[in-house]
Amino acid sequence: MRNIATLLIAGVIALATWHCDTPVKGTEITGDVKNAANIQAFLDHVIIGKASNVLAKTEVDGSGNFKFEFPEGIPAGIYQLRLGAKRVNLAMDGTEKKVAISGDLGTIQNYDFTITGSDDSRTLANIMKGLFNRQVSAEDISIFIDTVSNPELGAFVAYRSLGASGQFLDTQKKALAKLDPNSETGQEYAKFISAVERQYQAQMADQLIQVGQPAPDITLPNPNGKEYSLSSLKGNVVLLDFWASWCGPCRRENPNVVKVYDKYKSQGFTVFSVSLDGIDSRTRSRFPNEEAANQYLEDQKKRWIDAIKQDNLKWEYHVSDLRKWESGPAAKYGVRSIPRTFLIDRDGNIAAVNLRGAEQIERELQKLL
């Protein structure tokens, strides 16, 4: 009898132990957010290209604490947490049990918070923080899509970071290809990309310079007064790059151009940079005399020269007429925003336009070398 009792007790202990080891069903999302007392918190389900659906709401107590409970668990996907007027996105892979968020209502919208219990949400917060701080490039987004295990997370990051910019359609399509085409996210993202593609094609049809056309020649001096002509580079593959020292996006793009130049300069590739630094007639008219205007022009020229050195733009071909938006080559090429690039093949014809990021430039360049 004693042996039977011992076995029964052991069985009960084993059953209790088995029960304790069994994963708890459901998902719990809690928050501890300073300066968020006595407001409402909402959790929305996000589908790319559609209005968010409210999934749950709860009250934030006087200490800034709140809790969402989902007894059946929460499906994999992208979610939006709303605290008053502040919003942040979360990413779930469907296995989360206890997710905890801690931060301050004043900075939470900048993804300045800590989160545990959801690796994908932490990954999303880190990359969003990088985007806000302008530390993430289009190439970084492409690499992220290649390496992230959650395809919805990859698609959402591509959507948020690249938006409706047609020049990054290849990256967005790569993210789309990883989604289930029968899922709501896959179908809605496909509609979004199709709309961006149609808009981009319409924009390109209005461009003054089209792929396949001969590249109009440019002859301008470098900072030392030596003239260079674009046509003299025929036989090489050339990236014609319109930029300026005062253009933040241009300066952030310069390392990508340098990276491609270093890799392919020995294979007949070079860069022809046209700067939109200088002074236009409107700015010149504001100065009291010609001497003051010329001094301003010299200052702008120095900024151009300094930017070439600072960004390590090591190729030889740097030219400008120092007329800013009245630049002759800019008008000839229909340039209305910068950075703006034109890839020119060995025969002197336009092969691609408006390339951004080392990966995109390199992909088109390899077709021509």
Name the residue with tokens 């009291």: 288
CB atoms < 10 A from the CB of 83, how many?
23
Higher pLDDT, 157 or 133: 157
Question: For residue 87, what are its two tokens?
Answer: 């919003």
What is the per-residue DSSP string for 182-226?
TSHHHHHHHHHHHHHHHHHHHHHHT-SS-TTSBPPP-EEE-TTS-
CA 227 – CA 318 distance, rounded (Å): 10
Fold of 27-120: Immunoglobulin-like (2.60.40)
Residue 19 in this model has a pLDDT that exceeds 50: no
pLDDT above 70 covers a percentage of the chain that reads 92
pLDDT class of 256 with cuts at 50, 70, 90: very high
Collect all residues with Cβ–Cβ distance below 8 Å to 241 and sequence separation of at least 6: 257, 271, 272, 273, 274, 339, 340, 341
Edge-to-edge strands of the sheet including 77-83?
A: 53-59, 40-46, 77-83, 86-92
What's the pLDDT score for residue 202?
77
Query: What is the value of pTM for the model shown?
Result: 0.60
Question: For residue 25, what are its two tokens?
Answer: 């069903």
Candidates 352, 367, 328, 341; CA nearest to 210 is: 352
Average pLDDT over residues 43-53: 90
CB atoms < 10 A from the CB of 207, how many?
16
CA 343 – CA 103 distance, rounded (Å): 47
Collect all residues with Cβ–Cβ distance below 8 Å to 37 and sequence separation of at least 6: 60, 61, 62, 63, 64
Question: For residue 269, what are its two tokens?
Answer: 């590739």
Report the chain's mean pLDDT, rounded to a whole number: 89
What are the extents of the domains in the chain? 27-120, 137-205, 219-366
CA 189 – CA 172 distance, rounded (Å): 9
The model's pLDDT over 205-244, given as tens digits with 9 standing for 90+, comes to 667 788 899 999 999 999 999 999 999 999 999 999 999 9
119 φ, ψ (degrees, to nearest 5): -60, -40
Average pLDDT over residues 154-175: 91
The model's pLDDT over 95-130, given as tens digits with 9 standing for 90+, comes to 999 999 999 999 999 999 999 999 999 999 999 998
Candidates 276, 277, 274; CA nearest to 241 is: 274
Helices (H) and strands (E) in the chain, counts: 11, 15
pLDDT class of 55 with cuts at 50, 70, 90: very high
Please check whether residue 104 is in contact with residue 33, taking contact to mean a CB–CB distance below 8 angstroms.
yes
What is 219-366's CATH number, 3.10.180.10, 3.40.30.10, 3.40.50.2000, 1.10.10.10?
3.40.30.10
Name the residue with tokens 């939006």: 80
The model's pLDDT over 201-214, given as tens digits with 9 standing for 90+, comes to 877 666 778 889 99
Residue 166 in this model has a pLDDT that exceeds 90: no
Candidates 54, 96, 91; CA nearest to 72 is: 96
Helix 184-205, helix 169-177: angle, nearest 10: 160
What's the pLDDT score for residue 206?
65
